Structure 1
Amino acid sequence: MATNAIDNPTPIVEVDHVSKSFPSADGSTMSVLDDVSLTLHDGEIVALLGKSGSGKSTLLRTIAGLIGPTTGQVRYRGEVLNGANPGVAMVFQSFALMPWLTVQDNVELGLEARGVPAEERRREALAAIDRIGLDGFETAYPKELSGGMRQRVGFARALVLQPDALLMDEPFSALDVLTAENLRNELITLWSQPGFPTKCVCIVTHNIEEAVLLADRVLVLGSNPGHIKAEVPILLPRPRDRRSPTFEAVVDELYGILTEREEAAGARVSGPGPLTHPLADASVGGLAGLIEIVYSHNGQTDLPDLADQLVFDVDDLLPLVDAAQMLGLLDIDGAQAFLTRAGRDWYLADIQSSKEIFAGLAVERAPLVRTIVKALENSEDGSLYDAFFRDLLRTGYNADDAEKQLDIAIDWGRYGELYDYDADTGELVLGEVAASISSAMRGNGDLDS
C-alpha cells in the first residue's frame, strides 16, 4: 500500500503563495487565485474541494505547469517550474482522447512525445492497458467505447508515463453514478498495490463524498478569488464505508465549511455588492421545492441525509442552499438547515402574497437584484437594456459567468414582479411591486444605505 505522507513527508510539488489573475474584456484583471500555498507529499491522495468558481481547475493546471502563476512559485522536487511540470500527468473530465487513434495509440501518445522507441512504447502501453482492465480493446477507437471505458484509457495514458504525481480534474463527473463508483473503487485498489506507478494523487472535485472516499487530506477552497479555506485530514481506514457514523461526520464537517458565508475583503466598508456576493445558480421553482421539503420535515433537516433521500450527491444541493440562505429563507448551522420565519411565510402564502414576500427579500438581500431595481428607478423612463448590466458584471466576471448572473437575476426579479424583461429587445422595465417596496425601504432608511 502507498506510504502515508505523515510517515514519509517527502515534498513532490510545492505551491508557494501563488496568485493568478486573467485579463477581463474591458482591460482590467480578474483575480482567480489568491495567495494559495500547499504541498503534495509522497504517499498521499489530496482532494481539492470547492464550489464552482473557486479556482480548483486553475490551481491544478498551475501545478501541472500549464498555466504560470501571476505571483508566487510552483516547485517540483525543489526546482521552480518555468513550463510544463515533468513529474506529473493529468486525467481530464472530458476524457480528451484523439478520436482518430486506437486505444493503444492514445495510450502511447505521451511516450511518443518523450521519444520512447516504438517497441518499448508498445510494451509499456499494453502493460498499462492491462493494468486498467481494457485487455482486448487495444485496437478499438474511442467511439466504440462507453464513457467509463474511455476514462480508463485516460487513466492508462497518464499512468504509462509513471508520473510522480497524478493530477485528476473531476475525472468521474461525466460518468453515470454506478460507473463513477466502480472507477473510484478501482483507483483505490490500484493505489493500494505496491507497483502503482505514481507517488501521489491530487484530485479536483466538487463532490464531498468523493473527496472523503478517496483522500488522505481535503483542501477546501473558497471563492472570489479562490483561496484555501480549510484543510481537513481524513483519518478513516480504507476501504471506507459511506454509511459509517465517522464517514458521515466528516461529510457533515466539510459540508459545514463549504456552506459558511464568506465576507469579501471590502464588504465591511461598502456592503455586499453584485461582484462580491454573486447569486447562487438556483431557480425560484427549485427554491420553492427545497423550502417545501424542509417545511415537511418540521422546519429543519440534515442536508446530507436529505440529499441521500433524494438520491443526489450532497453537493448538488449547495446552489439551492446558498440561494435560500442569501434570501433569508433558511438558516444554516453546519450541515443542518432550519426554516426561517420568512421561509415559512413564503411557503404558506397565496400566490400573489408569495410573490410580494419574495420580491421584498430579493431587493433587500440579493445584491444584483437590488442593483437592477435601483438602476431602473434612476433611469429616465424606468427602463434599461440588459447590455448595461452585462457590461457592469463583466468587470468582475468572465463572459459566461456574467451571463449566468444576469439570467438568475432576471428570473428572480420577474417572479417577484420587480421588473419585466423583453428577451427580443433585451429591455428591462421597472414593475409596480419594485416601486412600492423601494418606497417602503426608503421610509426605513434601508435602500440608500
Structure 2
Amino acid sequence: MTLNPTNRPATPVIELRGVSKMFRTADHVDRAVLEGVDLTLREGEIVAMLGKSGSGKSTLLRIMAGLVGAEHGEVRFRGSRLTGTAEGIAMVFQSFALFPWLTVQQNVELGLEAQGVARAERTRRAEAAIDMIGLSGFNSALPRELSGGMRQRVGIARALVTEPDLLLMDEAFSALDVLTGETLRDEMLDLWESGRANIKSILIVSHNIEEAVMMADRIVILASDPGRIRAEVPVPFARPRNRDDAQVRALIDEVYTLMTSAAGLEPRVPVMTASQQIGYRLPDADISQMEAILDLLHESPFFGRADLPHLANEAGLTDDELLPACEALHLLGLANIERGDIIATPLGRTYYDTEPPERKVLFGKQLLTNVALAGHIRRELEASPDGEVGEEAVLRELEAHLEPDEAKRVLTIAIGWGRYGEVYSYAFHGGMLTLPQPEASEADG
C-alpha cells in the first residue's frame, strides 16, 4: 500500500521519545526494563520488532497501546500525547484473548461496543470484518469450535473492525503451526496492500527473522538489560517477496548477525562478567536442541561451522528455538557466534565425541564455570548443613534482579540444566534443591 507517493516524509502515526520503563525489585530497587527508546512509525509502513526474551518488546508494545505508562519520555499518537488507551490503536495478541462464552460475532463487536457504536452499525461492521478475514459463515460459532488459526482470525477481525490507524501485533502468528502462520501472514499482507483494512501503520513484534524480512519495510532490533534500540534495518524490496531470492537471503543473514550481536553473543564475553551475574536472563534452551545443533555441526557439509539460517532449516528449528539454543551453547563455551555463523569450540567438539554419561559431567562442569546462578546454587548447597536449599529462597534472591515471572522462568531453566549436569537435584513435591546423591542420580536426572 502506497500512502505517500511523493518524496516528502510520511506523516507520523506514533512517536516515542526517550521512553523508559522501570520495575521495582523485591528489595525495593528500581531497575530499567526499557531505557531511552526513540521510535517513530509513519503512515504506509510495516515495522517489525525483534529482540531476545527480556528485551522489553511486549512492554514497549503495551506502552504504545496505552495499556501501561512510561516513567520517562513521552508517546505521541497523531500528534497528541498518549495518556491511556486511544481510539485508533488496536492490538492482536499471541494468546488470541477471546472470551470463550461469546460467539465470533460478539467477540468481534466488543471493541465497537466499548466505543459506544450503535447496535446496527456494530453488526454491519463486524460482519464485514469477519468476511474480510475469511470467517464468513462462522459468526455464531464459539471459540472452542474453531481451530487455532480461525481463533486468531477472530482476534485480527476484532482489531480491524475498529478501523485503527495503528495495528500492534504481539507474536500474533507464533502460536500457530507453520503453514497456518504463513497463510495468515500472506492474507494480512494482501489486506494491507489492497487498503481494504484502512490501516495506516502496523508494528509486528516477532521472534521470526524470516517473517520480519518478508513482511516489514523496516526492522527494529532491541538489545537487552535494559531494552533499547540496537539497530534499524530498512527492507528495500517490493512485496510480495521471494524468500529464495539471493538479496532477500543476504538480508536475512544480516539480521541474524545483528540479532546475535544484540544478544551479546558476538564476540564471546569473558566468563562471569557483570552480564552473567545470578540475574542473567538465561535463554529458554532445550538441552536436546543444543545437542542436536552440536551433532549437526559435526556432519558434512558443516565441518564445525554453519550459517544460522541454513542450520535452522537443517535442524527443523524456529528462530524462537534456534537462537536461545545457540545462546546457551555460547554461554557454556561449547560454540561461538561470528557474523551470523555458529562455530563449535574445541570443547564443543569434545562434547560431541563424548559418550552420554561423560557428556553430563562436561555439561555440569561448564554450567558451574559459566552460569553464575548455577554456581551460586551449588555453593549455597555445599554451605548448607543439610545440603538443601529451598526454591523460594533462591527466587527471592533472583527477584532482586528480575521481575517475579522472569525470576521464576530463569530459575526453572537453571534447575533443568543443573539436574541434567548432575550438579544438584530438585524435589518437585517440596520445592527443595539438594546436592545429588550418587545412588539417586540416575532416577533424578
Return the TM-score normalized by structure 2: 0.89
Q: Does the 8 A contact of 2:271 with 2:370 survive in 1?
A: no
Q: RMSD of the alignment, in Å?
A: 2.5
Where in structure 2 are the equivalents of 1:185-224 lying within 5 Å?
185-224=186-225
Of 255, 272, 284, 1:281 maps to: 284
- In structure 2, the partner of 1:145 is 146
5+ long unaligned stretches in structure 2: 439-445
Q: Aligned equivalents of 1:306 and 1:405: distance in 2?
A: 26
Does 2:399 match 1:397? no
- In structure 1, the partner of 2:165 is 164
Of 123-132 and 321-330, more deviation after overlay is shown by: 123-132
Q: Does the 8 A contact of 1:24 with 1:398 survive in 2?
A: yes
Residues 72 and 269 of structure 1: CA distance in aligned 2, closer, same or farther (over 3 Å): farther
- In structure 2, the partner of 1:416 is 421
Q: What is the SS of the residue equivalent to 1:279?
A: coil
Q: What is the SS of the residue equivalent to 2:276?
A: coil
Q: Aligned equivalents of 1:307 and 1:188: distance in 2?
A: 25
Q: Does the 8 A contact of 2:208 with 2:320 survive in 1?
A: yes
Q: Does the 8 A contact of 2:14 with 2:78 survive in 1?
A: yes
- In structure 2, the partner of 1:12 is 13
Where in structure 2 are the equivalents of 1:30-429 lying within 5 Å?
30-260=31-261, 261-262=263-264, 271-275=274-278, 277-296=280-299, 297-380=302-385, 382-429=387-434
Q: Deviations over 1:67-121 (max 9, x none)?
A: 1111111111121111112321111222222333332222222222222222222
Q: Deviations over 1:232-288 (max 9, x none)?
A: 11111110111111121111111111212439xxx9996343345332222433322
AA paired with 2:296? I
Residues 247 and 143 of structure 1: CA distance in aligned 2, closer, same or farther (over 3 Å): same
Q: Deviations over 1:15-40 (max 9, x none)?
A: 11111123344444343211111001
Q: What is the SS of the residue equivalent to 1:57?
A: helix
Q: What is the SS of the residue equivalent to 1:138?
A: coil
Q: Aligned equivalents of 1:420 and 1:96: distance in 2?
A: 37
AA paired with 1:186? E
Return the TM-score normalized by structure 1: 0.88
- How far apart are 1:170 and its partner, in Å? 1.2
Residues 382 and 188 of structure 1: CA distance in aligned 2, closer, same or farther (over 3 Å): same
5+ long unaligned stretches in structure 1: 434-449
Q: Does the 8 A contact of 2:13 with 2:43 survive in 1?
A: yes
Q: Aligned equivalents of 1:276 and 1:425: distance in 2?
A: 24
- How far apart are 1:125 and its partner, in Å? 2.2
AA paired with 1:292? D
Residues 113 and 283 of structure 1: CA distance in aligned 2, closer, same or farther (over 3 Å): closer
Q: Aligned equivalents of 2:405 and 2:330: distance in 1?
A: 24
- Runs of 4+ displaced beyond 6 Å: 267-270
- How far apart are 1:422 and its partner, in Å? 3.8
Q: Deviations over 1:388-414 (max 9, x none)?
A: 322111112233322232232233333
Q: Aligned equivalents of 1:271 and 1:76: distance in 2?
A: 38
Q: Aligned equivalents of 2:69 and 2:283: distance in 1?
A: 30
- How far apart are 1:124 and its partner, in Å? 2.1
Does 2:6 match 1:3? no
